Amino acid sequence: MTTHGLSNNPVYKTWYNMMNSCYNKYSRGYYYSGVYGAYVCEEWHEPKNFIKDMEPTYESGLWLSRVHINRNNLCYCPEFCSWVTLKQHKRNTTNSRMLTYNNKTLCLSEWAEQTGVCKQTLSKRLELGWSVEKTLNTI
């Protein structure tokens, strides 16, 4: 019995997981989205609308991610979602430590890459009470 014919579409599978993460408290992903109040815009409750918006930019191996303009952005909608690599996706989580320096906000892992200083070293400096400026500029 075919209901919509979309179940083999990888973008549909992403839609299904997004909806489960936001609304199904028994879903593994609910702990990362629904618990925090993440929700899907009304338009995307219909899978065909989500597929129409997101399939043109989809590539195999990419993950759906919400752009965190700020930590309170909880909406999955066209203006806040994009496809990202797994590395980017893992960095775009609520438990990533974000630092702002010179009007640039990055997670600790990204600052470690940019400065060449180990992530654990940066983290320890901050724990010791170092300023963000000193933490990032000391080699």
Residues 76 and 107 in one domain: no
Question: DSSP labels for 78-121?
Answer: GGGEEEE-HHHHHHSSTTSPEEEETTEEEEHHHHHHHH---HHH
Residues 103 and 81 in one domain: no
Residues 28 and 83 in one domain: yes
Residues 50 and 111 in one domain: no
pLDDT tens digit sequence for 64-101: 998 765 556 789 999 999 999 998 888 877 677 888 99
Residues 69 and 125 in one domain: no
Is the pTM higher than 0.85? The answer reads no
Q: What percent of the chain has pLDDT over 70?
A: 94
Residues 20 and 35 in one domain: yes
Residues 67 and 111 in one domain: no
Residues 43 and 107 in one domain: no
Decide: 97 and 82 in contact? Cβ < 8 Å. Answer: no
What pLDDT score does 94 carry? 67
Domain span at residue 135 reads 97-139
